[in-house]
């Protein structure tokens, strides 16, 4: 297991390097520079040249990239933002990522709490009213994009009923592992959490249903029934555990999606997270922040996939990593 984890972590290094390289050169090649955005229509070629020099953008691209990698490797320095008061990128990420992570964790819990039981129930009541109702609802959730669902919820629960604030991220500031985190009041959390969880919950329900249907038709489940085990015990001890394994992979990717896929949601609900920051940085061509966020996203996916693979080994004795290269 140790060798496997070590190898995977070593493999992460070239992956992160490749991500940083691609992100840097995509940014470099994309039309519109941060100086163009900074100066707008009131641009002057002389001033553009001067500011490019002051921000180090007139250096050859490979030198710029090399200096970024050197800073990142030797000092953990991802550079400074061109906008937002030229704050260090690591500081921006450290300030905003905890909010995204908190929202993602809460949405993940919601998605699991809804999606898994809904999928199991639909499978157990296959082709009956409950199954059809659940799958109909799930289809609706999969089909409605976040940028539609979010304003609809805002219109209904904020404007019409007046129960919830339309947006914002008000709460108590807590310090966790040295990071400043805003734990929002439930009124501010509810709508973004539901919107972020809706699609993953629906997908989880569909996968869980399919996986469960396949499992309960297996011989060993039939044997368990024949042995006279209670339906609850068959479900808990035999069917669910095996049906859950394929869903675990989805769960890992879903969590990655939630950590990184809240761009629209954070912008709509004005949540000071990394998704909101990314949108702003892309629009203003703030390359250092874009690169920093891309690296973070890559690192998250690598870590989540590694954890899922390890969990596979924990949950399924047939899967073993000893000797794996």
Partner 1 sequence: MTRRLERRQKGLGAILRAAGILAVAAVVAAGGGGCVRRPGGPGGRANELRYPLAMEPDSLDMQASNSVVTGELLQNVYEGLLMLDAETKLAPCVADKWETSSDGRTYTFHIDPRAKFSNGRKVVASDVKWTLERWCWPETKAPNAQPVMQYVIGGNDVMAGRRRDLPGVRVIDPATVAITIDRPRAYMLYEVGTVGIMCREAVESGHGKFGSPQAVGTGPFVLKSYEPGRRVVLEANRDYFRGRPPLDRIIRPVVVSSETSHMQFENGEIDACAASLVDFARDRETPKLRDQCRVVNTGSVSYVAMDVRLLPVFRDPRVRLAFARAIDRDAIARVAYHGLCPRMDGVLPPGVVGNDPTARRLTYDPAAAKALLAEAGYPGGKGFPTLTLAYIQSSPNYSATAQIVRDNLKQNLGIEVNLQEREQATLIADLNANRLPFCLMRWTAIDPHDFLPTMLGAGSAQNHVGYRNPAFDRLCDQADAEMDTAKRAALYRRADDLAMADAPIIPLVNSGEFWLINPRVRDMRSNLGGMLPHYTTRVAR
Residue 255 lies near partner 1 (rule: CB under 8 A): no
295 to each of 48, 88, 198, 265, 276, how far by Cα in Å? Answer: 29, 15, 27, 21, 16
Find the length of the chain.
325
- Shortest CB 37 distance to partner 1, Å: 5
* From candidates 269, 290, 298, 304, binder to partner 1 by CB under 8 A: 269
Among 6, 11, 26, 32, binds partner 1 (CB under 8 A): 32
Rounded to an integer, what distance in angstroms lies between the CA atom of residue 156 and that of residue 144?
16
Main-chain dihedrals φ then ψ at residue 88, nearest 5 degrees: -60, 140
| Nearest distance, CB of residue 45 and partner 1, angstroms | 6
Q: Is 122 or 193 the residue whose CB approaches partner 1 more closely?
A: 193
Choices 61-69, 80-88, 117-125, 128-136 (CB under 8 A): range interacting with partner 1: 80-88
| Residue 112: CB minimum distance to partner 1, A | 9
For residues 146 and 265, the answer to whether their CB atoms sit within 8 Å is: yes
Q: How far is the CB of 256 from partner 1 (least distance, A)?
A: 17
- In angstroms, the CA 217 to CA 225 distance is 11
* Separation between Cα atoms, residue 260 and residue 283, nearest integer Å: 17
Across 118-269, the runs of DSSP E, i.e. the strands, are 171-176, 179-184
Q: Toward partner 1, which CB reaches closer, 15 or 167?
A: 167
- Residue 40 CB, nearest approach to partner 1 (Å): 6
Looking at residues 165 to 224 of the shown chain, list those that interact with partner 1 (rule: CB under 8 A).
165-172, 174, 182-187, 189
Q: How many chain residues bind partner 1 (CB under 8 A)?
A: 72
Helix %, strand %, coil % of the chain (to 5): 75, 5, 20
Task: By CB under 8 A, tell whether 161 contacts partner 1.
Answer: no
Shortest Å distance, C-beta 85 to partner 1 = 4
Piece of 10-18, 200-208, 228-236, 280-288 that binds partner 1 (CB under 8 A)? 280-288
Decide if residue 159 touches partner 1 (CB under 8 A).
yes
Which residues 6+ apart lie within 8 Å of 175 measured at CB?
181
Tell me how far, at minimum, the Cβ of 128 lies from partner 1, in Å. Answer: 30
Q: How distant, in Å, are the alpha carbons of 68, 219, 293 from that of 265?
A: 30, 45, 17
Tell me the three state secondary structure of residue 170.
coil
Q: Which of residues 285-324 bind partner 1 (CB under 8 A)?
A: 285, 311, 314-315, 317
Q: How far apart are CA 292 and CA 199, in angstroms?
A: 27
């Amino acid at each position: 297991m140790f060798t496997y984890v070590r190898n995977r972590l070593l493999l992460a290094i070239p992956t992160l390097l490749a991500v940083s390289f691609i992100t840097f050169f995509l940014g470099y090649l994309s039309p519109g520079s941060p100086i163009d955005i900074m100066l707008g229509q009131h641009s002057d070629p002389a001033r553009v040249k001067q500011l490019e020099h002051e921000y180090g953008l007139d250096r050859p691209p490979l030198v710029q990239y090399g200096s970024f990698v050197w800073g990142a490797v030797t000092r953990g320095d991802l550079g400074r933002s061109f906008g937002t008061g030229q704050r260090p990128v690591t500081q921006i990420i450290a300030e905003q990522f905890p909010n995204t992570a908190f929202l993602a964790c809460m949405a993940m819990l919601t998605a699991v709490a809804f999606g898994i039981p809904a999928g199991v129930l639909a499978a157990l009541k296959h082709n009956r009213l409950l199954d059809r109702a659940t799958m109909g609802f799930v289809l609706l959730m999969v089909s409605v994009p976040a940028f539609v669902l979010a304003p609809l919820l805002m219109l209904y629960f904020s404007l019409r009923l007046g129960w919830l604030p339309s947006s914002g991220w008000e709460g108590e500031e807590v310090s966790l592992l040295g990071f400043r985190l805003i734990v929002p009041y439930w009124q501010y959390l509810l709508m973004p959490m539901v919107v972020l969880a809706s699609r993953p919950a629906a997908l989880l329900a569909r996968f869980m249903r399919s996986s469960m249907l396949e499992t309960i038709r297996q011989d060993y489940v039939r044997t368990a029934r024949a042995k006279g085990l209670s339906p609850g015990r068959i479900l808990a001890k035999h069917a669910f555990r095996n049906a859950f394994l394929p869903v675990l992979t989805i769960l890992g990717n879903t969590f990655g999606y939630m950590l990184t896929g809240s761009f629209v949601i954070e912008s709509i609900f004005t949540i000071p997270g990394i998704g909101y920051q990314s949108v702003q940085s892309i629009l203003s061509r703030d390359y250092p922040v874009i690169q920093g966020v891309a690296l973070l996203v890559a690192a998250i996916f690598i870590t989540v996939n590694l954890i899922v693979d390890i969990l596979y080994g924990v949950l399924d004795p047939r899967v073993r990593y000893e000797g794996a290269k």
